[in-house]
Copies of this chain bind each other. A is one copy, B any other.
Amino acid sequence: MQFGVFGTGMVGQALASKLVSLGDRVMIGARNRGNEKAVTWTKAMGSLASQGSFADAARFGEMVLNATSGTVSLEVLNSAGAENLNGKILIDVSNPLDFSAGMPPTLTICNTESLGEQIQSAFPHIRVVKALNTMNAEVMVNPSLVPGAHNVFICGNDAQAKTQVAALLERFGWPSASILDLGDISSARGTEMYVPLWLRLWGVVGTGHFNIRVVSA
């Protein structure tokens, strides 16, 4: 399968590298073709990897992952072009974190809305699935870094799209039982608003290799 990955940062590279390691072809997208980090990554990853603009990556991908900073994600998607994304699944991994006032960051959107919803609303023909935004990039693609069972959440309006994303998460190493479907895209409010707690927990736990497990009677 062919994937487009928006974002050349830690999260984008972790996702793109995992996909290549699974044998998929991946184009990593940046604001401009020839982005230095994208070129370096492509050279390191070999023949399955390529780089281009956001629009290039959108055209290339049969499924697309948004790993850009949440504060620029809508602008990135506009740059990628609805015509290159419509009908496709977009896995939105981003969080609308504002670091401009230092640590801890605040959210630029929350409570009555979420970035996942804003993306779905701005691009009604993209099949948005919010996922993986509640953990460290290394844990996203290697859940066994955290011992025992722990959860990943998916949110979206399109049930078939969520099934396909769950299948991809299983390829990443997530046991089927650990993938919790929280409902429609408005449930992204829950997973995005969890991030401030996640940041506090990171400070307490002392490693990014942690996650939460939902335990019930």
Contact = CB atoms under 8 A, between A and B. Distances in A.
Contacts of A210: 214-217
Interface residues of A, number: 41
A153 B210 CA distance: 16
A199 B194 CA distance: 12
Contacts of A107: 111
Contacts of A106: 111-112
Contacts of A153: 197
A13 interface: no
A1 interface: no
Interface in A193-216: 193-194, 196-201, 203-205, 207, 209-216
Given A111-B106, A200-B183, A217-B146, A212 B212 contact: yes
A215 B147 contact: yes
Contacts of A66: none
A189 interface: yes
Given A111-B196, A211-B216, 19 more contacts: A110-B193, A145-B217, A150-B215, A153-B197, A182-B201, A182-B203, A182-B204, A183-B203, A190-B199, A190-B200, A190-B201, A193-B196, A194-B197, A209-B216, A210-B214, A210-B215, A211-B215, A212-B213, A213-B213
